Structure 1
Amino acid sequence: MTDALTLLKTRKSPKVFDLTSPGPTPAQLDEMLAIASRVPDHGKLAPWRFVIFEGEARGRAGEAIAAAFRADNPDADEDRVAIERMRLSHAPLVIGVVSKAGPHAKIPEWEQTLSGAAACTLLVLAAHALGYAATWLTGWQAYDARVRAALGLSENERFIGFVHVGTLARPQDDRPRPALADIVTRF
């Protein structure tokens, strides 16, 4: 149990600029996805799915993001467009976690969405357990209908987040955490 507690106590979210190769092997990626799919899921709906961005796919996705950004910002200079183009290219692996939450007779959409958020959390923890670092981000592109469509989402699907996974390029400092007295009340 100590190893599990140490894992939970030492997880950090590095900046994507500090993630480098190597990333997980195909077998490790499958293990991470299998772990992420073990989240609480009221009704066994699996109201989420995963989109893998690695290799050249990261650049193709970046082109779609850059195109939407340029359409909204026609006066943006090339350096600014390049930043948008690189959104999914810093880490060797990015996993898009997609919510398929929808109306259901018994299971509220909110519970379905939270199940997908739990999948993001387990992806981050699984990466850490395998010796990698991971960061869960959204960004404007997660909410943009044009980008969602270009990245293969249907009209009723939404990105819960993009989990960027790789090897740390440098050690990370821990950020201050909230004091329990500030976040805990008793009823």
Structure 2
Amino acid sequence: MNDVICAILNRASEPRLTAPAPDQATLDAAFQCAFTAPDHALLRPWRYLVIEGEGLHALGELFADSLDANDPNHAERCARVRQSPLRAPMIIVGITSYREHPKVPPVEQAMSAAVGMGYLALALDAAGYGAMWRTGSPAHSDVVEQGLGLADHEKISGFLYVGTVERAKPRVPRPEVADKVSRWPHTDQ
């Protein structure tokens, strides 16, 4: 097998991340990989924010601000979400930046942005770092979008937590090809 196939087959979402985070040269190479995502009409419907250091604390505050103040467990939930960005030394926010186009519907643009996030995670993994793509309610919050400075035509694709793998988690079993792949039209034989 070639290096690309091996990298994909060995990739895993790693929730236990610590410093160091990737340096700028590694990030630049990984972003160049993300920019190769399939992109109908070359709209480039994505952009990214890199958050580190004190920015992680500010992101936690933004997450807390997005919670429903009427929730009876509000204080407990706020304390928990304030800490969630501190699970890694770096978070890369993937943003789908929708463009009006007669032949490229929004769903195709969202898929392009998602593939870019996947390529970014693969590239960072190949460079020796771990990554965990997270979404959850902060990824769908108007408060978080506004706090991060998203424009009206933009949505969060996800939060890619990035760092050095502290302790690899057990390998996740993969499905058998025959359980998930079939041919069409079906032949009766």
1:115 paired to 2:130: no
Q: Which amino acid aligns with 1:26?
A: Q
Structure 1 alignment gaps of length 5 or more: none
Provide the alpha-carbon RMSD of the alignment.
1.5
Displacement after TM superposition at 1:76 (Å): 2.4
Farther-moved stretch of structure 1 (138-147 vs 100-109) = 100-109
Contact 1:69–1:84 (CA under 8 A) maintained in structure 2: no
Task: Trace 1:4-83 onto structure 2 (pairs within 5 A).
Answer: 4-15=4-15, 18-69=16-67, 71-73=69-71, 75-77=73-75, 79-83=76-80
Match of 1:67, as an amino acid? D
**C-alpha separation in 1, matches of 2:70 and 2:124:** 35
Shift of 1:70: 5.4
**1:103-140 per-position Cα deviation (integer Å, ceiling 9, x unaligned):** 31121211111100001100110111100011111110
1:8 alignment partner, SS class: helix
CA distance in 1, matches of 2:178, 2:73: 48
> CA shift at 1:74, angstroms?
6.0
- Per-residue CA shift, 1:149-186, capped at 9, x if unaligned? 11111222111111111111112211111121211010
Bigger Rg over Cα: 2
Q: Would the alpha carbon gap of residues 72 and 30 (structure 1) be closer, same or farther in structure 2, given more than 3 Å must change? A: farther
**Aligned equivalents of 1:105, 1:6: Cα separation in 2:** 39
Which residue of 103, 106, 109 maps to 1:106? 103
Q: Say which SS state the counterpart of residue 153 (structure 1) adopts.
A: coil
**Which runs of structure 1 show a deviation greater than 6 angstroms over 4 or more consecutive aligned residues?**
none
Looking at structure 2, the residues matched to 186 and 70 of structure 1 have their Cα atoms a distance apart, in angstroms, of 47
Q: Please report the TM-score for the alignment, with normalisation by the length of structure 1.
A: 0.92
Q: Distance in 1 between matches of 2:42 and 2:10?
A: 31
Give the AA of the match of 1:4.
V
SS at match of 2:85: coil
Distance 1:111 1:125 in 2: 21
Amino acid across the alignment from 1:54: E
The separation in 2 between residues aligned to 1:74 and 1:53, in whole angstroms, is 31
CA distance in 2, matches of 1:162, 1:69: 17
Deviation at 1:71, TM superposition (A): 2.7
With normalisation by structure 2, the TM-score equals: 0.91
CA distance in 2, matches of 1:159, 1:85: 18
Q: Percent identity, please.
A: 38
Give the whole-Å Cα distance in 2 for the aligned partners of 1:150 and 1:8: 34
Counterpart residue type for residue 82 of structure 1: A
